[in-house]
Structure 1
Amino acid sequence: MEQVAQVRMLTIDDLPLLQAMDTGIEDDYVVRIFDRLIDSDSHELFGLFHEDQMMAVAGYSLFGQNKFAMLGRLRSDRRYQQRGHATKLLQPIIDHLRERPDVGWIGANTHLGNIPARRVLQKLGIDQGPVIHYLTLNQPDKLVGQTPGPVWTEVEDLNKKHELLNSLESNALGMFPYECYYPFPYDDALFTDEYIADSTFYVSPDESRFVVIKNDTKKYDYSHVKYFWNDHYTQPGFFETLLDHWNKNPENVGCWIDFSAEGFKHIPDLSAYDVQEPWILYGIWK
């Protein structure tokens, strides 16, 4: 009789089993930073095992004072695919998160075209959210169609920064781009004093718009832009403000901008950007 696969939290002793998996991923960063993930208070990894064989691995990361849990790092051994292992592994992880009183939201972020992953999330009862386009402005000389204007006024007062975030009445993104690749619901738990202090805020001359830029590293350094409207190209000085921040942070490779599906349609020419395949956010409140 075939033995039932088991799921358990990984320890540092499981590294050889992870390394033995045939995932097809060259230089897998999960293997490289495995010890840091295991020792971290904000990350957990789980494995799906059959006897002594690790067939799949996945985990979660916590954000916003542990209120938000993002599922991720899912990879499977190619020799054992098409057997529902992703669902078998993720369901116990979700059950584990549901039992944590500090976690209020569970979600995942995947490529729009990753139909197998989206089916798994749907099967697990995780609701579909907004489509997000990740673009990196890295050739500003090719920008066309933008409305020129002066650089917006920088806001340095911490309380004023909080007031700006709390003043937002309508959010075209449908989420808050906390980090590159890590969008979450727009929620005050994410807006800690430390996070806000490390972010640069700019207000437009008529004070009807603001933009937040925070330096972030995802392999490369970026000026990560958080803008909650779809009028990037019609707001005078918007792009001058982004480029001014980039000039002050020359180690960054470009300005990472999260566009909504509607905002993406308004871009007149993509030549100035490095364009990724669209992503889609899934999530559910407990």
Structure 2
Amino acid sequence: MEQVAHVKMLTIDDLPALMAMETGIEDDYVVRIFDRLIESDSHQLFGLFQEEQMLAVAGYSLFGQNKFAMLGRLRSDRRFQQKGNATRLLEPIVDHLKRVPDVEWVGANTHLGNIPARRVLQKLGIEQGPVIHYLTLKEPEKLSGHTKGPVWNRVEDLNEKYRLLDSLESNALDMFPYECYYPFPYDKSLFTDDYLEESSFYLSPDQQRFVIIRNDTKKYDYSHVKYFWDDHYDQPGFFETLQDHWNQNPDNAGCWIDFSAQGFKNIPDLSAYDVQEPWILYGNWQHS
């Protein structure tokens, strides 16, 4: 008789079971940082087990004073795929998050073309959100079609940074790109003194636009650009401002920019960028 699979929160003792999985991922960072994930207050990992064998692993990370939970780190043992294990694992994780008092939003971010993952999220009742294009500006000398101009004025005052964020009346991205790969609904809980102090704000000369650039590391170091309009190529000095920040942080691999679907269509020439497959954000607000 086949043993019933069960889900449990992982501990450091589960590392051997994780390492025994055949995921096809070489040098999996989840294995490398397993101890840090287990010990962290803002990350949790869960495993789907059949007896002592781990069939799948997934977890979540908390952001915005624990208001936002992002599902992720899903891996399945290739020997046991096509058995609904991802859904069987994620369902109790989502149920668990519904009981966490501070969590108000649960979501996931996946490739637009990852149909199996999107089907799982649909089964879980998590709603589809905006499509996001992640591009890294690597060769700015190849930029064309943009409006050149002076570097925008840097904003140093913390209160002014908060004022700019509060003044945003429209947001073409339909989200806030908190970190590379981690977009969330635009929400004040994400804006802390420490986060804004670590972020460089630049205000356009006409004071009608601003851009936020924050250094972030996702395997490589990036200048992570947060811009909330689709007119990148129309704003004088926008790209000069990005290059100026990059020049001040020469170890960064490039300028990571989150584009909306329309913003992506507005790019006249992609040769200056490394282009990823589009991603799509899913998420639900929790209702009490």
| Consecutive unaligned residues in structure 2, runs of 5 or more | none
Equivalence for 1:262: 262
- Would you say 1:170 and 2:166 are equivalent positions? no
Question: Residue type matched to 2:80 in 1?
Answer: Y
Measured in 1, the distance between the counterparts of 2:90 and 2:37 equals: 18
Question: Residue type matched to 1:235 in 2?
Answer: Q
The alignment of Structure 1 onto Structure 2 pairs a total of residues equal to 286
- Would you say 1:192 and 2:221 are equivalent positions? no
How large is the Cα RMSD of the aligned pairs? 0.5
Q: Deviations over 1:234-261 (max 9, x none)?
A: 0000000000000000010100000000
Q: Deviations over 1:117-173 (max 9, x none)?
A: 000000100000000000000101100000001100000000000000010011000
Aligned pairs (5 A) from 1:1-286: 1-286=1-286
SS in 1 for 2:230: coil
4+ long deviations beyond 4 Å: none
TM-score normalised to structure 2 length:
0.99
Aligned-pair CA distance for 1:2: 2.4
SS in 2 for 1:125: coil
Question: Residue type matched to 1:197 in 2?
Answer: E
Percent identity of equivalent pairs: 80
SS in 2 for 1:17: helix
Aligned-pair CA distance for 1:200: 0.3
SS in 2 for 1:147: coil
Aligned-pair CA distance for 1:49: 0.3
Question: Residue type matched to 1:133 in 2?
Answer: H
Measured in 2, the distance between the counterparts of 1:251 and 1:216 equals: 12
Measured in 1, the distance between the counterparts of 2:99 and 2:145 equals: 50
Q: Deviations over 1:3-37 (max 9, x none)?
A: 21100000000000000000011110000000000
SS in 1 for 2:79: helix
Measured in 1, the distance between the counterparts of 2:4 and 2:159 equals: 55
Aligned-pair CA distance for 1:217: 0.3
| Consecutive unaligned residues in structure 1, runs of 5 or more | none
Measured in 1, the distance between the counterparts of 2:13 and 2:218 equals: 27
Question: Residue type matched to 1:179 in 2?
Answer: E
Measured in 2, the distance between the counterparts of 1:240 and 1:195 equals: 24
TM-score normalised to structure 1 length:
1.00
Measured in 1, the distance between the counterparts of 2:237 and 2:257 equals: 16
Q: Deviations over 1:175-216 (max 9, x none)?
A: 000000000000000001110110000000110000000000
Measured in 2, the distance between the counterparts of 1:95 and 1:4 equals: 19
SS in 1 for 2:129: strand
Question: Residue type matched to 1:18 in 2?
Answer: L
